[in-house]
Structure formats: structure tokens, C-alpha cells
Amino acid sequence: MGKVGRKAGRVEVIAHRGSGGPENTLSAFRRARQFGADWFECDVRLCASGEAVVIHDRGVGRTTGGKGRVEEMTLHQLRRLDAGGGERIPTLRQALALASRRFGAYVEAKVQGNARALAGAVVAQVRQARGRVVVQSFDTGFLEAAAQLAPTLPLELLVSTRPGRGWQRAIEFAVDHGLRGINLSQRTATRSLVAQIHDAGLRCAVYTVNDVKGVRKLAAWGVNGLITDDVHLCREVLGA
């Protein structure tokens, strides 16, 4: 796919793991839509039976109270767990069914030594989705595989730390593989880095932004999106 580049004007609000409910659940995604988010963000892993499921951690303990690792459990085993308030761990298919043209899905691929298999599972589900979908990952192997499988799929590279001398290589990777953008941690984002991303014809979102000062500063820098736990805060500050 071609470069998208910077879009002037409105900063998009992306609800981190949903909003107002147990994280990464269908109820949290629905509430994100009600609260006015432009997108919901969800984390996706591959389970033992081959399905792409929506959960952040490698282990199920923190969010469900169960025991085990996602990649060692079948979908049937995972669906028996309580993800909070009676919610179940969704499949990616279920999550993407909530996406529309006005309320998109940001899918973060969590790779556990299975980049190509996860890319295949994610691409298969995204192809069936009717709404807007962007796929992001820290794993360059996953992004390479996904780009090969679906050249027009909007893909974005996540960066957790300032790359230093490797920063130009990150931009070159994104451009060479036709990625849509590069997304930065709020801890390491600078006006200069945002400008470099935009100058390369790429979009830039920043995570995880939950403070008034950060929202104002990043909006002034011209970022395209804010990944946040507090949709209300972002909407209020951006509206002002």
C-alpha cells in the first residue's frame, strides 16, 4: 500500500483495551464507542487450537484468575474463564464484528515465537471485517509476514523506547514494507521524532496518554492519534 502521511486537523482517540469495563472485553469495546472514541484497541494472541483471541498477557492469571498460558490453552478452555463481570475472552472475529466505518479497531499482535502463524490468523479475520481495522505490533517479523499476506492492510510499527542510532532504520523499515505509521511511547516521544515520522510520509500515534498536559502537548505536535485509558479526558481536552 502507498504512504498515508499526516492528516491535518482532528486528533483521533483510541481506547486502550476498550473503556469503562474489564479490559479487552466486548463490553469495554462497546463502552469505548459510547464514550466517543474513534477506535478501540485490543491485544491479540494465538491460542493452542489456532484461533486469534483477545487478551493482553501471555498468562491468563491477572485478568481471569485462571492458570496457564494462552498458547498452551484451547479456545474452549479459554472461553470457560471469567474475564471480569461475567465477560468471556473474545475471539478476534467477535471483536472485529463491533468495528464500523466510524468506530474502528486497532489490533495489536502479541507474538510468542509464532509470527507467521499469528499473521495468517489475523489477516484471515481482518479480511472478513466490515469496519475499519489497523494492525500494529512491536514484532517486525509479524509485520513483514502480514505485509506479504495482505499488501493493502494498514500496518503500524510500535516502538517502546527511543531507538537512538537505530531510529532511521525503524523509519526505513516502515517505508520499505509499506507501513501506515509508527507509534511511540509517551515516555520517549519528542517533537523531533514525530516530525521525522511525518516527514517520511507516515502517521504517528502515541501511547498511553492519560494526562491533560500530555494530550495538549502531543496535539500541538500534530500527532494523528492518542491511545488512552481515559477517553473522556482526551475528548474534553481536545474539544477545548
Taking the domains of the chain in order of start, what are their residue ranges?
12-58+92-239
Task: List average pLDDT for each run of 10 residues in the chain, which is 240 residues long.
Answer: 46 97 97 98 98 98 98 98 97 98 98 97 97 98 98 96 80 97 96 96 98 98 98 95
Give the global pTM.
0.95
The answer to whether the bond into 74 is cis (omega within 30° of 0) is no
pLDDT of residue 2: 32
pLDDT of residue 123: 98
Rounded CA Rg of the chain = 17
C-alpha cell at 223: 500527532
Q: How far apart are CA 171 and CA 111, in angstroms?
A: 21
Nearest CA among 174, 147, 169 for reference residue 158: 174
User: Could you write out the DSSP letters of every residue in 215-229?
Assistant: HHHHHHHT-SEEEES
Is there a contact between 21 and 27 (Cβ–Cβ < 8 Å)? yes
Strands (E), the chain: 12-16, 39-46, 52-54, 104-109, 133-137, 155-159, 181-185, 205-207, 225-228
pLDDT of residue 162: 75
Nearest CA among 38, 22, 33 for reference residue 227: 38
Backbone angles phi and psi of 38, in degrees to 5: -85, -30
End-to-end CA gap in the chain: 35
**DSSP code of 162?**
-
Is there a contact between 158 and 137 (Cβ–Cβ < 8 Å)? yes
**212-221 and 191-199 helices, crossing angle to 10°:** 40
Q: What percent helix, strand, coil does the chain show, rounded to 5?
A: 40, 20, 40
pLDDT of residue 9: 67
C-alpha cell at 19: 473503556
Is domain 12-58+92-239 classified as CATH 3.20.20.190? yes
Which residue do the cell numbers 481515559 mark? Answer: 230
In our burial notation (b when 16+ CB lie closer than 10 A, e otherwise), range 121-144 reads bbbebbeebeebbbbbbebbebbb
